[in-house]
């Protein structure tokens, strides 16, 4: 394969992959922000429920609901950790694609 064919292939591949990678990265970032907001809301609600349960001993037991919220919080945290790992991998992929493209350009320009 000639250098120009390799360069065209590399640029073509980059033009296909880069928008998809950028789109996934943006969506992951948005989802991470939403997950963080949800976690904060769950923390606040959990604290409020614990306070209500403490103040109102005669009311129905809210501990069951507090436990459910804590379980949901744990799940949200787990999903957020997974999303962080995915975003890190997407960023590494973007970096590798950019480096490879720069390397191929340098090789072609040196020829």
5 pLDDT above the threshold of 80: no
The angle formed by the CA atoms of residues 106, 107 and 108, to the nearest 5 degrees, is 90
Task: Indicate if the pLDDT at residue 1 is higher than 60.
Answer: no
Q: What is the mean pLDDT of residues 41-58?
A: 84
pLDDT of residue 2: 60
Percentage of the chain beyond pLDDT 90 is 38
109: region left, alpha or beta (phi > 0 left; psi from -120 to 50 alpha): alpha
Model pLDDT for residues 58-75, shown as the tens digit of each residue:
667 778 888 999 999 999
């Amino acid at each position: 394969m000639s250098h120009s064919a390799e360069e065209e292939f590399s640029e073509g591949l980059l033009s296909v992959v880069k928008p998809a990678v950028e789109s996934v990265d943006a969506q992951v970032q948005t989802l991470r922000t939403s997950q963080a907001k949800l976690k904060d809301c769950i923390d606040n609600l959990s604290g409020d429920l614990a306070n209500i349960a403490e103040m109102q001993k005669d009311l129905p037991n809210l501990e069951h609901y507090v436990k459910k919220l804590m379980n949901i919080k744990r799940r949200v945290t787990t999903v957020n950790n997974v999303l962080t790992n995915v975003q890190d991998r997407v960023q590494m992929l973007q970096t590798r694609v950019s480096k490879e493209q720069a390397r191929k350009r340098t090789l072609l320009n040196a020829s």
